Amino acid sequence: MAEITPTILVSTKEEFEEKLSRVSELVERIQIDVIDGVFAENKTVDFSEISREGFEGEVDVHLMVNEPVNWIKKTVSFGADFLIGHIEKMRNQAEFVKQAKEMGLKAGLAIDLETPVEEIETFLWSNLDGVLLMAVPAGFSGQAFSKKVLKKIEKLKMIKDSLKLDFDIIVDGGVNLKNAKSCVEAGADVLAVGTAIWEAEDIKKRIGEFKSIFK
């Protein structure tokens, strides 16, 4: 069954704490979205202002930043478990993966909606713990899901199966109750969900609704 991971993309410490508290007892994994104002015209709260205290599950950090390798030490200090960096502003994919793993983190690569799967260095497939596919242009929450991502999920699933690998295929951006099933049928393992969770009056019920799709 696919895993549902709430995404937290916020600009203030207060927003972060409020959202973390709302899901901390409901899920075993969250994703923190980080934007530096360079990768996209948006900027999120700085790691120095927030804490993962009170959340015992896995923390994924999705770096939409210039040179993600320069953010590794910050994420380690924060207490991240899984670091995912976008390749579009990354000079050396192998170095990012290598350094993240040397610091004890799981490592993954992310690609934006218009970036082909083939842009990921093929020799790295066996070293990755996950690949994140954006279903919207990276940078802002609340955008509409693009069906373009489904073909990319299928292609990534073929690569994963042909090489007998076990990395997570993560889909992020615009995922909701209407398109979640098609993502999983295409091969997604993890659905990173933002607006569709946070807009719900009853978050526990909404997460249950996602899970019921895959039973």
Counting Cα atoms < 13 Å in the Cβ hemisphere of 196 gives 23
What lies within 8 Å, CB to CB, of 146 at 6+ separation is 113, 135, 136, 173, 174
Only one residue has tokens 């997570």, namely 168
End-to-end CA distance of the chain: 7
Give the phi and the psi of residue 157 in degrees, each rounded to 5: -65, -40
Our answer to whether residue 81 is catalytic in this structure is: no
User: Do residues 134 and 173 lie in contact, with contact meaning Cβ atoms separated by under 8 Å?
Assistant: yes
Burial of 166 per CB tally in 10 Å (0-12, 13-18, 19+): exposed
Q: Which of 36, 112, 168, 172 is catalytic?
A: 172
What DSSP state is assigned to residue 43? Answer: B
* Catalytic status, residue 33: yes
Alpha helices by DSSP H, 79-198: 93-102, 148-162, 180-186, 195-198
Q: Which residues are catalytic?
A: 33, 172
